[in-house]
Amino acid sequence: AQSVAQPEDQVNVAEGNPLTVKCTYSVSGNPYLFWYVQYPNRGLQFLLKYITGDNLVKGSYGFEAEFNKSQTSFHLKKPSALVSDSALYFCAVRDSQDAGKSTFGDGTTLTVKP
């Protein structure tokens, strides 16, 4: 069975500082990993994904994520946080054999303070 863990319920950073939102995963086979963001009272929006290739993945709004196979991690990062980045972030893993089956983490609330 696949699983995703987001160990931090909440991450607080000051505007302009780098941010990291952590995610670890467990899958059998090759991992298909995703980050989604949910702004208040909105649906989820795709940020970025790792399927194969470079371990550093670049996505929307200046976000990037680093895939680390040995640590089974896929942490979301941004060099300089904005107040508008404040939102709920979800890490997700897709089954490598069954494209319809996805598992999401519990989410991490990011708050960026001016």
| Residues 2/100, Cβ–Cβ less than 8 Å | no
Q: Annotate each residue in 71-100 with x if it binds another protein (CB under 8 A) or - if it does not, as one string.
A: -------------------x-x-x---xxx
Question: Binding of another protein at residue 109 (CB under 8 A)?
Answer: no
Binding to another protein in span 32-61, by CB under 8 A? 32, 34, 36, 42-46, 49, 51
Amino acid residing at 57: V
Write down the least CB distance from residue 102 to another protein, Å. Answer: 6
Question: Binding of another protein at residue 22 (CB under 8 A)?
Answer: no
What contacts 17, CB < 8 A, 6 or more positions away?
80, 81
**Number of residues written out for the chain:** 114
Distances (CA, A) of 10 to 21, 51, 109: 9, 27, 5
Amino acid residing at 36: Y
Instruction: Please identify, using beta-carbon distances, which residue of 53 and 114 lies nearer to another protein.
Output: 53
Kindly list the residues in this chain that would bind another protein in the complex (CB under 8 A).
6, 9, 32, 34, 36, 42-46, 49, 51, 90, 92, 94, 98-107
